[in-house]
Amino acid sequence: MLHAAPLVERSPADRTAPIVPLNEIALTGIFEISKILTAPTRLETTLANVVNLLQSFLQMRHGVVALLADDGIPDLAVGAGWSEGSDERYRGRLPQKAVDQIVATAMPLVAENIVTHPAFGPDDAVTLGASETTRVSFIGVPIRIDAKVVGTLTIDRVWDERSMYRLDFDVRLLTLVANLIGQTVKLHRVVAQDRERLMHESYRLQKELSELKPTRDRRRVHVEGIIGDSPALRGLLEKIAVVAKSNSTVLLRGESGTGKELIAKAIHELSPRAKRPFVKINCAALPESVLESELFGHEKGAFTGAVARRIGKFEEATGGTLLLDEISEMDVRLQSKLLRAIQERVIDRVGGTKPVPVDIRIIATSNRNLVDAVREGTFREDLLFRLNVVNLKIPPLRERPADILELAQHFVKKYAEANGVPLRPVSADARRVLSANRWQGNVRELENTMHRAVLMAQGDEIGPDAILTPDGDRLDLAKTPPAVAHATMAAEQVTRALVGRTVADVERDLILETLKHCLGNRTHAANILGISIRTLRNKLNEYSDGGIPIPPAGTPGEYPRMPMMGA
Ligand SMILES: Nc1ncnc2c1ncn2[C@@H]1O[C@H](COP(=O)(O)OP(=O)(O)OP(=O)(O)O)[C@@H](O)[C@H]1O
Ligand SMILES: [Mg+2]
């Protein structure tokens, strides 16, 4: 049978000792303190909350956490009830000589009676309220970051009989709390310095970008393979030429098909890392567990099927650039691992035991608004802060119409050569159709359209009859707004056709039709459907499990529905 552990043996002077064993109270207290210390509140509030909690299980009258100034971070003094601007109140309670001694010796200081202790003067006795009738005890312990003393945790109490046997125990307890505080302060300082550095870097680059002189006075930036001469695109290319020289993380935003990947590659090629690898990974295309090992690699035996060690994209990109495509789709748990990799420049291979240092520049793309994603709780704010040092937006094609015809011409040439057909000019009518279209799918849609046009055009010119939608309809006719009556009728017919079907059925058809329309491109389809890629993928898995054939993931330039393309 189990016996209850004996309580601390009580001396006659000890009658008021608590019934619950001290260790248990202390353990609960420490546990609560550790929870407070990890809360994402500002440091002063966190520390004030710690003192507050200490009061609930430690015999004490006042407690103060004081931190010394360091590396541009100001000193602080907080206690229970701290509020902005009240530091002086707490600092005034600190017996200066005693605190200096704790800092200098890096040792705890215990005074059973401050009036008789050499580290306390008459002023301290007044401040701490000691008198003939009120005996005040004091305990102070150093707060350390590694070996360095960065502050003190001090308490005072009105002495009574209990004080005697608790002093030793309480010194140990306070030392433990001070160690926890030290770790928290360290973390806060690292994060604060890091934030500061990033903000500096971001400010410097954004300033440099905003001071770029008008293009007229400067040599134009030309990047092989990037077509277009609109002011918007020219401005963007000038910016990337500046940004490329730095090592900063870049976040590229832009609708699907605007050329984010192309621009990311250009940044790499204009950077000092150009001769090293450019590696890309699509964060939306893979389930979380696979993505993790793709990113960070894995050790042999890390999971079933890991028959050999494999390095991940981070290591593959060493010395070069890693493009994290569609970062908004990354699982939140993996985001924290990514944050560590970016912040500390080390990675952990799956199943690995020691961190591996990595030297890479990161470019991330997103066609979702990451600020919204942060608000929705699907994206870590600290990761966004990290990635957002330079933020570049690629304008949609409809906002730079001057690029449309030049791009169209470029794609005609490219696909005429690739397919071995003669190069033909785009007729004036066809050019009008191209210029008037809204290009929701941006450059990718234009590219696919011109690829089709090259193959479908009859005669000496590429005319409007060759400018087709993926369904084979003429783009100009498909876009003509139908007469109102016609539209109403069509809408009625559609509704009638839907009656009797389940929402799930209709949803499935809509998803699969949209996916076919997008030639299997998941990103594009999810955009049109207004759902996340993750949701789309889950739905497709569901259908596929139910035996429904799913269009394969398409890449631009592949047309699974047009047999002549295979030739
Ligand atoms: N300015 C341009 N000049 C030449 N080709 C371009 C240009 N912009 C985009 N493209 C081409 O358009 C296609 C789509 O570009 P890219 O893959 O870079 O877009 P994206 O923004 O990454 O799209 P998504 O969000 O769907 O991944 C590619 O084939 C790319 O080469
Ligand atoms: Mg892309």
| pLDDT tens-place string over residues 208-232 | 888 776 655 556 778 889 999 999 9
Here the tokens at position 381 are 């704010």
Mutate to test the pocket of ligand 1, among 251, 255, 369, 443 (most ligand atoms within 8 A of CB): 443
Q: Whose CA is nearest to atom 31 of ligand 1?
A: 262
Task: Report residue 567's pLDDT band, with 50, 70 and 90 as the boundaries.
Answer: very low
The pLDDT of residue 364 is 97
CA of 255, closest atom in ligand 1 = 25
Instruction: Please say if the pLDDT value at position 7 is more than 60.
Output: no
Instruction: Please say if the pLDDT value at position 13 is more than 50.
Output: no
Ligand 1 center–CA 27 separation, angstroms? 59
Ligand 2 center–CA 327 separation, angstroms? 11
Instruction: Please say if the pLDDT value at position 10 is more than 50.
Output: no
Ligand 2 center–CA 367 separation, angstroms? 9
Q: Whose CA is nearest to atom 10 of ligand 1?
A: 259
Pocket of ligand 1 (CB under 6 A): 226-228, 254, 256-262, 367, 407, 443-444, 447, 523-524, 556
The pLDDT of residue 12 is 44
Q: What is the mean pLDDT of residues 340-358?
A: 86
Nearest to 223 by CA among 236, 213, 205, 212: 236
The pLDDT of residue 490 is 53
Nearest bound ligand to CA 408?
Answer: 1
- Which of the pair, 322 or 74, is modelled with greater confidence? 322
Ligand 1 center–CA 423 separation, angstroms? 23
Q: What is the mean pLDDT of residues 10-24?
A: 52
The pLDDT of residue 17 is 46
The pLDDT of residue 152 is 95
Instruction: Please say if the pLDDT value at position 561 is more than 70.
Output: no
Cβ atoms of 154 and 64 closer than 8 Å? yes
Alpha-carbon span 50 to 179, nearest angstrom: 13
Q: Whose CA is nearest to atom 26 of ligand 1?
A: 256
Ligand 1 center–CA 226 separation, angstroms? 9
Q: Whose CA is nearest to atom 29 of ligand 1?
A: 444
Cα–Cα distances (Å) from 213 to 220, 245, 270, 392, in that order, read: 11, 18, 20, 18
CA of 367, closest atom in ligand 1 = 25
CB neighbours of residue 82 within 10 Å: 22
Instruction: Please say if the pLDDT value at position 497 is more than 80.
Output: no
pTM above 0.85, yes or no: no
Nearest to 295 by CA among 341, 253, 352: 341
Ligand 2 center–CA 285 separation, angstroms? 11
Which tens digit of pLDDT belongs to each residue from 98-145? Answer: 999 999 999 999 999 999 999 999 999 999 999 888 999 999 999 999
List, as own/partner pairs, every contact residues 113-120 make where C-beta atoms lie below 8 angstroms and the sequence separation is at least 24, other chains included.
113/137, 113/159, 114/138, 114/156, 119/95, 120/95
DSSP state letters, 145-196:
ETTEEEEEEEEEEE--HHHHHHHHHHHHHHHHHHHHHHHHHHHHHHHHHHHH
Nearest bound ligand to CA 280?
Answer: 2
Quote the radius of gyration of the chain (alpha carbons, Å).
34
Nearest bound ligand to CA 441?
Answer: 1
Here the tokens at position 127 are 């401040």
Ligand 1 center–CA 446 separation, angstroms? 10
Which tens digit of pLDDT belongs to each residue from 399-423? Answer: 999 999 999 999 999 999 999 999 9
Ligand 2 center–CA 418 separation, angstroms? 22
Which tens digit of pLDDT belongs to each residue from 72-104? Answer: 556 889 998 888 888 888 888 899 999 999 999
Residues whose Cβ atom is located within 5 A of ion ligand 2: 261
| Mean pLDDT, the chain, whole residue set | 84
Nearest bound ligand to CA 258?
Answer: 1
Ligand 2 center–CA 260 separation, angstroms? 6
Q: Whose CA is nearest to atom 5 of ligand 1?
A: 226
The pLDDT of residue 22 is 64
Nearest bound ligand to CA 557?
Answer: 1
Determine the angle formed by the axes of helices 533-545 and 503-517, rounding to 10 degrees.
110
The domains located in the chain, with CATH, are: 12-191 (3.30.450.40), 212-395 (3.40.50.300), 403-478 (1.10.8.60), 490-566 (1.10.10.60)
Which tens digit of pLDDT belongs to each residue from 164-211? Answer: 667 888 999 999 999 999 988 988 887 777 788 888 888 888 888 887
Instruction: Please say if the pLDDT value at position 330 is more than 50.
Output: yes
The pLDDT of residue 542 is 87
Ligand 1 center–CA 511 separation, angstroms? 24
Q: What is the mean pLDDT of residues 266-279?
A: 96
Task: Please report, rounded to a whole number, the percentage of residues in the chain having pLDDT higher than 70.
Answer: 87
- Which of the pair, 493 or 36, is modelled with greater confidence? 36
CA of 227, closest atom in ligand 1 = 3
Q: What is the mean pLDDT of residues 380-396?
A: 90
Which tens digit of pLDDT belongs to each residue from 427-474? Answer: 999 999 999 999 999 999 999 999 999 999 998 999 999 999 888 889
Residue recorded with tokens 């500390």: 344
The pLDDT of residue 11 is 45
Residue recorded with tokens 């094609």: 397
Q: Whose CA is nearest to atom 30 of ligand 1?
A: 259
- Which of the pair, 46 or 2, is modelled with greater confidence? 46
Here the tokens at position 188 are 């806060």
Nearest bound ligand to CA 409?
Answer: 1
Ligand 1 center–CA 443 separation, angstroms? 6
Q: Whose CA is nearest to atom 18 of ligand 1?
A: 259
CA of 447, closest atom in ligand 1 = 12
CA of 259, closest atom in ligand 1 = 18
The pLDDT of residue 212 is 75
Q: What is the mean pLDDT of residues 244-266?
A: 94
The pLDDT of residue 249 is 93
Task: Please report, rounded to a whole number, the percentage of residues in the chain having pLDDT higher than 90.
Answer: 46
The pLDDT of residue 485 is 44
Q: Whose CA is nearest to atom 25 of ligand 1?
A: 256
The pLDDT of residue 69 is 82
